[in-house]
Structure 1
Amino acid sequence: MHLDNLADMALFVQIIDSGSLSAAGRHLGLPKATVSRRLALMEQRLGAPLIYRSTRALAPTDFGQRYFQRVQPIVRDAIRAQSEAKSEHARPSGLIRMSAPNAFGQIVLAQILFSFLEQHPGVRIDLRLSDDRVSLVSNGFDLAIRTGPLEDSELVSRRIAAIPMRLVASPAYLAVHGTPLDPAELVDHQSILTRPDLDHWQIGKHIVRPRWNMSTGSMLVSRDALLQHMGIGLLPAFLADPAIKEGKLTPLMLQHALNSEEVSALWARNQTPSLAVSALVNYLVESAISCKSADLWKPS
């Protein structure tokens, strides 16, 4: 590959990231006319238009979007390699775009990120909280934190910790419907799920498929549903334990062991993690190991 091609790839990625030729030119220190001319030559060489242009906005063509998804990781790796080669002892720096689940992000992860940024002032974090399993590549994320089983083989994963789970219901619900003492009795109760595919509970040696009346899509909403006396459900300890301590939820099946929820860090297989991403993943693992409260999480 000719070096000019890599420079043009970087130019194209910057145009898409900036949203306009003028903004890309300002970022790269180039006149708009130069950016436009290089883009036109690039399209001529590739034999297809990359961008739809108008007086007000621009957008990638279908070919341009596919090309962007292919070359963006190449450009990022080249920029990172150049930056990291400047010093063997370079400090972690730069922007980390990351995704994490809502409840875990708000209650556990945020505090760890605050501490990490205090120790690494050269790092910036763009945190997006969502319970959807977003695509890292197409959404431009450097890192994702996920809980539960992993499915995407295109991602590299590193296990960070395991979150203890609690089977709980409100005292008011149990007063009306009774307290199940055996796993087999759970099928006779109303249940709350976070996702429809999580429709089986491992209670000790028993696998229970509860009769659920709501799947919430959010652990926070599941907690609120249980506090509203809607049934029995599984919650991570960091959500359940404060409500248990206040007497708003009652733990069930204490004589049986419950599976923990795995927490993993993931990044694209074709991307080399930056120093900042590697430092953050290591920090998350160290935080899990040093965490003294099993109410939050425990190391895997």
Structure 2
Amino acid sequence: MREPDDLSGLSMFVRIVEEGSLSAAGRALGLPKATISRNLALLEKRLGAPLLIRSTRALSLTDTGKRLFDRVRPIVRDAQQATAEVKSHQAAPSGLLRITASVAYGQAAIAPRLLSFMRRYPAVRIQLHLSDGRVNLVNDGYDLAIRMGAIQDSELISHKLADITMVIVAAPSWLEQHDMPRTPADLARHTAVVMRPDMIQWRVGGETVRVPWRMSTGNMMVTRDAARAGLGIALVPEFLVLRDLERGSLVRLLPDLELPAIQATALYARAVSQSVALRALMDDLLASRPIEVDAAPS
């Protein structure tokens, strides 16, 4: 009959070698030196070969012991990590999560999910910061960032949450004073309200057009409000202006031409990837991708 593999004995052997002595291994494992010595002897008996040469000053590996140590050390490490992961999955999410999100998408899509998440996990605390400004996830102390648009930091773990449909809009008062654009090139004869001054290259119907800007807001919701006030045309997420389009306070321009969607993405550092609370939240956010948004608050 095949003997069962002695993983506990191999794990103890690896610890003895790493600690440099039976006594040090015993202290690390919280076991008497006699127990460590007895288990090592049982392992050597099972394998039919000595693994360590014992002296009064130090331990040294036999050739067989060195080959065994080199082979089983990564296996023991993988087994320990797997055990730790299983244990952490069984723990109830708790503690503080610091989250930053884009204002419009965070308010319309993410905040409702966080409220539901916190009802399920009462031991979790969340500090939510809504901002369209660029943040440094690690330096600013955030566990999770949810951003719209291009992602530049490749060192972070990223998960796509949704594709956001974009639209070009203007107020009726603006269109009363300016010709209705019929082609992408016509947009260059209008003035735009933008979130940042560098956001003036618009891809419309397969063409790229440069639209001069009049106001840079730093915030998508203010961009919408400025367009609604008749200060210029704007390229904004569709969910942000659905109610305005229904009421007629904004008009969609070039509706038959395709605009590239922008991506909503969740980002976090590898250092916090083992957080039970963060993992539970990410499971919740990713369970129902894409995260739908009916309309943003007006």
TM category (shorter chain) comes to 0.5 to 0.7
Deviations 1:47-79 (A, max 9, x none): xxxxxxxxxxxxxxxxxxxxxxxxxxxxxxxxx
Deviations 1:80-126 (A, max 9, x none): x9997756522222211111112222222111211121222222211
Q: Which residue of 2 aligns with 1:215?
A: 216
Q: 1:205 to 1:118 in 2, by over 3 A?
A: same
Is contact 1:142-1:273 (8 Å) kept?
no
TM-score with structure 1 length normalisation? 0.66
Q: 1:173 to 1:290 in 2, by over 3 A?
A: closer
Rg (Cα) greater in structure = 2
The correspondence of residues 126-275 of structure 1 with structure 2, limited to 5 A, is 126-275=127-276
Amino acid at match of 2:94: S
In structure 2, stretches of 5+ residues that fail to align are: 1-18, 20-81
CA distance in 1, matches of 2:106, 2:88: 33
Deviations 1:275-298 (A, max 9, x none): 21122122222343474x6667xx
1:241 is paired with a residue of what secondary structure? helix
User: Root-mean-square deviation (CA), in Å?
Assistant: 2.5
CA distance in 1, matches of 2:84, 2:219: 39
Is contact 2:169-2:251 (8 Å) kept?
yes
TM-score with structure 2 length normalisation? 0.67
1:133 is paired with a residue of what secondary structure? coil
Is contact 1:161-1:285 (8 Å) kept?
no
Is contact 1:84-1:275 (8 Å) kept?
no
* 1:179 Cα deviation after fit: 0.9
CA distance in 1, matches of 2:274, 2:86: 14
* 1:188 Cα deviation after fit: 0.4
Amino acid at match of 2:119: E
Q: 1:86 to 1:179 in 2, by over 3 A?
A: same
Amino acid at match of 1:107: A
Amino acid at match of 1:91: A
CA distance in 2, matches of 1:252, 1:126: 38
2:138 is paired with a residue of what secondary structure? helix
* Aligned residue-pair number: 217
CA distance in 2, matches of 1:89, 1:221: 44
2:154 is paired with a residue of what secondary structure? coil
CA distance in 2, matches of 1:180, 1:274: 51
CA distance in 2, matches of 1:119, 1:181: 51
Q: 1:173 to 1:87 in 2, by over 3 A?
A: closer
How many percent of aligned residue pairs carry the same amino acid? 43
* 1:257 Cα deviation after fit: 1.0
CA distance in 2, matches of 1:82, 1:124: 27
1:288 is paired with a residue of what secondary structure? coil
Is contact 1:202-1:259 (8 Å) kept?
yes
Deviations 1:245-288 (A, max 9, x none): 11100011111111112111111134324121122122222343
